Amino acid sequence: MLEIANGIRHLPGYLERAGQQSLVEIVRGIVAEAPLFIPVMPGTGKPMSVRMTNCGPLGWVTDKERGYRYQATHPATGRSWPAMPEPLLDIWNAVSDYPLPPQACLINFYSDDAKMGLHQDKDEQDFGAPVVSVSLGNSCLFRVGGLSRNDRTQSIKLASGDVVVLGGAGRLCFHGVDRIYPSTSTLLKNGGRINLTLRRVS
Ligand code: SIN
Ligand code: FE2
């Protein structure tokens, strides 16, 4: 376990290959029920470069008119999100140090040219619970800063099977993904990266 900064913990290689593979299968099942959507920025409607879906009682969504929020249904199908799978609950229970289960798992699909700008995860009501992130597929350059956008940042590589816990003083730190490193993993047939973030919302 490596402490990156401010209570942000990096657990390299937390999941072994078999665990990674079974999570990819689970994610494919979720996507079949709850198709990926392209999130857009509130106000401008500018599309992000990742594609998303969710599982669990709540899912994180965004659109031009109503902005960032959690809701119980898929924005296109209107159906409830697929259930939170047991292996993700196991990870949460092992690393979150929080008594209640996660209510949302945001699933981000990065193609090899996708990235995610520096942001805070602050659409939740409960900042006492950490955000737990699981990386699958190609490695990425993950950037973490402080509580203000202009704070100094540091960058670490996240590889397939790595878990990051944004908790405690690090819960509201700015973070983002600067780039994906193509061909750094054989886990996903078509390359790219999947990131799962487990969140407690209320
Ligand atoms: C996120 O902040 O939602 C995703 C972080 C990541 O892809 O590692
Ligand atoms: Fe985030």
pLDDT value at 155 more than 90: yes
Question: Ligand 1 center to residue 195 CA distance, Å?
Answer: 6
Out of 106, 109, 124, 133, give the residue to mutate to test ligand 1, the one with the largest number of ligand atoms within 8 Å of its CB.
Answer: 133
197 ligand 1 Cβ < 6 A? yes
Question: Ligand 1 center to residue 177 CA distance, Å?
Answer: 7
Name the band, by pLDDT with cuts 50, 70 and 90, for residue 58.
very high
Residue 1 has what pLDDT? 76
DSSP conformation letters of 145-186: --SSTTS--EEEEE-TT-EEEE-GGGTT--EEEEEE-TTS-S
Residue bearing the bigger pLDDT, 126 or 178: 178
May I ask the CATH architecture of the domain 2-199?
Sandwich (2.60)
Question: Helix 86-95 to helix 17-33 angle, to the nearest 10 degrees?
Answer: 130
pLDDT value at 200 more than 80: yes
3-state SS class at 79: coil
For the residues 115-144, what does the mean pLDDT come to?
97
pLDDT value at 76 more than 80: yes
Query: Any residues with CB less than 8 A from the CB of 137 and at least 6 apart, and which?
Result: 24, 160, 185, 187, 188, 191, 192, 193, 194
For the residues 16-20, what does the mean pLDDT come to?
98
Query: Any residues with CB less than 8 A from the CB of 80 and at least 6 apart, and which?
Result: 72, 73, 74
pLDDT value at 10 more than 80: yes
Atom of ligand 1 nearest to the CA of 195: 7
133 ligand 1 Cβ < 6 A? yes
Instruction: Spell out the domain ranges in the chain.
Output: 2-199
Name the band, by pLDDT with cuts 50, 70 and 90, for residue 126.
confident
Closest CA to 53 of 33, 23, 68: 33
Write out pLDDT tens, residues 83-102. Answer: 999 999 999 999 999 999 99
Out of 172, 175, 179, give the residue to mutate to test ligand 1, the one with the largest number of ligand atoms within 8 Å of its CB.
Answer: 175
